[in-house]
Amino acid sequence: MMSSLNAKPGLHRSVSEWTSNNQQLSVTAQHERHISNVIRQEGRTLRNETNFKTHWDETDTCRRLSDRVWDVARWKEVLETCAQKVDEEMETLTLSKEQTEQALAATAVPLEVTTECLTLREGRKGHELVTDPVDEQLKKEVELIERVQQVLQQHTSRAFEQLCILQEVRHQLTADLQNKMDALDIDMSCLSLTIKSPHISLKTNPTRIPSGSSTPQEWVQFSQHNVARAHEAMQVSQQIREDMNLTRAQLQNELETQRRATDFALRKRNHHEEQARHELEWQIKTTEGEIAEMESDIHGLDADLQAKTANLKLAHTRLETRTNRPNMDLCRDEVQHGLVNEVQQLEATIAALKQKLSEAQHSLQKMKLHHSRMLQDLSRKQEALSLEQRSMNTRARLTSTSSTDNKNAALVVPLANSSGRSNLKLLAQ
């Protein structure tokens, strides 16, 4: 009790202070309530506005995502269509290239045959080794085949280079298409997300601009460039195919025309050589008959010469014997004159016979020598004819090869109409 009374009493306030404090509390309470009411109203307004804004932004984002998905899908279809066309063009160009390579390989046999014919005809001897139209045609054929091989090789190389370009274009289209597919999957995945999706979360600095980002214009221009480049490459490829098809047809016509010209020249030359051989055989036969007659005549001349020599011996013996007549009986009578005349006549006859016999023997020798030359030339002609026949038999491989090719391929090479050129018909066998 005493301790309670001894405690220090609190600070006493006046009634006015008490009243002022109560009023201050009321005013402050009213002010805070007013501020709270304003904040609540502003909060409600902000909630409504932000809810609406958030809903609108999400709706607009979904719309933009939907539009973006449509754009990407459209470009994806364009790229797929373009890539398919590139694949078709590559397949077509590859087929045309293979046909050109087959045509190039097919020239190996004609070149081998023509070269073999030239080699065979070099085996002719003597005057049969002539530079005739067959040689000219064979050499022209070799030059043509070599030119054809060069042209076809150039077209094949050009087609290979274009295939590499198409492959590069196809790779670029494929990469762009894959990017479009990945982007399409990502945008569709984003479009399917909602606030209730389980995998959404706050990310660190999601508004940053990733390195390598492009503008919408650059994005469109990139795909447009890829498609335009692909179309340009396909146009070049189509032109190359047309050129290859046309060139193959033209060169095949040239080869066929030259082959026929060479075969005609070879047949014509073979005919002329057969005529020359027949003529030479007739000359040989006629000469042999003449030789036989000349030998018979020489034998007759020699027999006449021997007979005339015997007559001369007789006349000489008579004259010499009559010189032994004695004295006045050694008379130059008619017998003496007749024997002298006979001796002179026989000596002239024998001289003429010897002259003619010498001429006949010389002529016979020349005929025999010429006969030997004709036999040698006949042997060469027969050998040349044999070589010509071997050449014709060798060239028969070309006809059989051409016939086989015609059975396996059409006689008309179709050409695309983009260049305005019509189909080119090949020469039939």
- Cα separation, 224 vs 147, whole angstroms: 42
- Whether 38 maps to a domain, the answer reads yes
- Whether 83 maps to a domain, the answer reads yes
CATH of the domain at 121: 1.10.287
Element (DSSP H or E) covering residue 413: strand 412-413
Q: What is the dihedral of CA 125, 127, 132, 137, to 10 degrees?
A: 0
pLDDT at 259: 92
- Cα separation, 181 vs 76, whole angstroms: 7
Number of folded domains in the chain?
1
pLDDT at 224: 95
How is the chain split among helix, strand and coil, in percent rounded to 5?
85, 0, 15
- Whether 372 maps to a domain, the answer reads no
Q: How many CB atoms lie within 10 A of CB 93?
A: 22
Strand partners, 303: none
Residue 383's SS3 state is helix
User: Whole-model pTM?
Assistant: 0.71
- Cα separation, 399 vs 158, whole angstroms: 31
| Of residues 162, 168, 46, 7, the one with CA closest to residue 93 | 162
pLDDT at 405: 55
- Whether 105 maps to a domain, the answer reads yes
pLDDT means per 10 residues, the chain with 429 residues, are 55 85 92 92 90 88 91 94 96 95 93 92 87 92 95 95 96 95 91 84 83 89 95 96 94 94 92 92 94 92 90 88 84 86 90 91 92 92 90 84 50 35 34
- Whether 138 maps to a domain, the answer reads yes
In terms of residue numbers, what domain contains 158? 27-193+221-269
| Of residues 348, 353, 363, 367, the one with CA closest to residue 302 | 353
Q: Using an 8 Å Cβ cutoff, are 159 and 96 in contact?
A: yes
